[in-house]
Chains A and B, each alone.
Chain A
Amino acid sequence: MTSQRRPEHADEQPIAGLAELRQVTPPAALVAKVMTSVTAPRPWTFRQGFARLLRAELRLSVRTAVVLAAFAGLGAWAVRRPQQPPVVAATAPAPLVQDSPAPVLVRFTFEDRRAHQVFVAGDFNDWNPIPLDHEDGARESMFVATVALPRGVHEYMFLVDGNWVRDPLVSDSRPDGFGRQNSLLRL
């Protein structure tokens, strides 16, 4: 094959049929996935945060008071009801309780040393990603978010640097209709 002599300048001409390979149809959900990623809320940089702090100095004091009061109320409520665990880890589903209408605080965790931005999205928030943050005292690679969810079965995914990723610690899953699997959380 390679020993055949090729006519001079033959390789200066394109190979027939190569241009046809251009006819590739991109995945139908590509645009939606990109737009979901670019419209996801991004955490403030230090500079942005400091600038906003300066601009809203007066409002900040009111906000701080409101937030502190909310935390105080939440703390008092938690102290009065110590028998009820306030947070359920997404990776350790609570037993199914059908008759309790109260929402459950679910703690989503995701660990990856290479990840820069991690969000969680699911049917509980119409797939609008919620950012996960680093937790004080935790490892740099650990991302955490706590979300109040109604009881029931929820589908969710992590959005890691723009890529949809299943919860690696949860084996329970359900097809998403696009050829992949969503993680399943039963509360």
Chain B
Amino acid sequence: MALNPEQSGAYSVLTRTGDEVSRAEEERRLIARCAQGEAEAFRPLVVRYQRVAFSVSYRMLGSRADAEDVTQQAMVDAFNAIDRFRNEGKANAFSVWLLRIVINRSKDVLKSKRWSEKPLGSEGEVAVSDAAFAHRPVDPELNVVENQQRQRLEAALLALPAKYREALILKDVEDLSYEEMRSILRLPITTLKIRVVRARGRLRDLLGEPEETR
């Protein structure tokens, strides 16, 4: 399926492509113009980061409608507070800052909806297979088996406690570095590594993977 490169997941959105320096410089200029009140300069940033922001909130919340609201509000929050944004010489500073807002907004929604973090007991596998989705885009190019696997993964991810889910989304779904995760979640790297390993273990338990496939 042909996707807009700005929206596709074919590469990391966090400015790791070859032209990193010029892209970071362009971003710095756009942010400076936004800080001076030029709202239209914010559009390229929204286009560039809408995919990752929406993806992270969607994977956190499991609902496209909620994810759209969170992404929209996080973008507006970022624009309104952009004069307080500090680049500090880091190429990915803006995307990291934006994702921090997205994650915090998503957590607010989880709290407001009182989505309890379900304990993972022996019924874990049953919960996964019974889980419902608010929305699952239909992709005709995926065959039935791949679709079922994707559904199981999505459901299992949503069944994880939020602190494990956010770590796994940033690390294994969005392929961020631990340094970037540290800036987003404001946790020590050691803690993050432990959470990622535990999250993978819990996810594997939920998926009920046979031992030999691991």
Contact = CB atoms under 8 A, between A and B. Distances in A.
Contact of B172 (A6, A19, A27): A19
A31 B69 contact: no
A38 B76 contact: yes
Contacts of A22: 9, 55, 173-175
Interface stretch (A9-17, A88-96, A104-112, A146-154): A9-17
A15 B55 contact: no
A23 B172 contact: no
Interface in B34-85: 39-40, 42-43, 46-47, 50-51, 53-55, 58-59, 64, 68-69, 71-73, 75-77, 79-80
Interface string A6-44: 110011111101111111111100110111011100000
Contacts of B150: 17, 20-21
Nearest to B45: A34
Interface residues of A, number: 34
Given A15-B203, A24-B58, A30-B54, A7 B211 contact: yes
A39 B38 CA distance: 9
Interface string B111-126: 0000000000010110
Contacts of A21: 55, 59, 150, 153-154, 157, 173
B214 interface: yes
Interface in B12-40: 39-40
A47 to B, nearest CB: 14
Q: How large is the interface on B (under 10, 10 to 19, 20 to 34, 35 or more residues)?
A: 35 or more
A1 B205 CA distance: 6
A24 B54 contact: yes
A18 B172 CA distance: 6
A106 to B, nearest CB: 27
Contact of B173 (A18, A27, A35, A38): A18
B183 interface: no
Given A11-B198, A39-B40, A31 B172 contact: no
A4 B80 CA distance: 51
Nearest to A7: B214
Contact of B69 (A11, A12, A35, A163): A163
Contacts of A39: 39-40
A157 to B, nearest CB: 14
A30 B173 contact: no
Contact of A34 (B64, B76, B137, B175): B76
A18 B156 CA distance: 11
Contacts of B201: 6, 11
Interface of A: 1-2, 4-7, 10-15, 17-27, 30-31, 33-35, 37-39, 161-163
Interface of B: 3, 7-9, 39-40, 42-43, 46-47, 50-51, 53-55, 58-59, 64, 68-69, 71-73, 75-77, 79-80, 122, 124-125, 137, 149-150, 153-154, 157, 168, 171-175, 197-198, 200-201, 203-205, 207-208, 211, 214
14 contacts: A6-B201, A18-B153, A21-B55, A21-B157, A24-B55, A24-B137, A25-B3, A30-B50, A30-B72, A34-B79, A39-B39, A161-B73, A162-B76, A163-B69
Given A2-B124, A17-B153, A35-B42, 5 more contacts: A21-B55, A24-B51, A24-B54, A30-B72, A37-B72
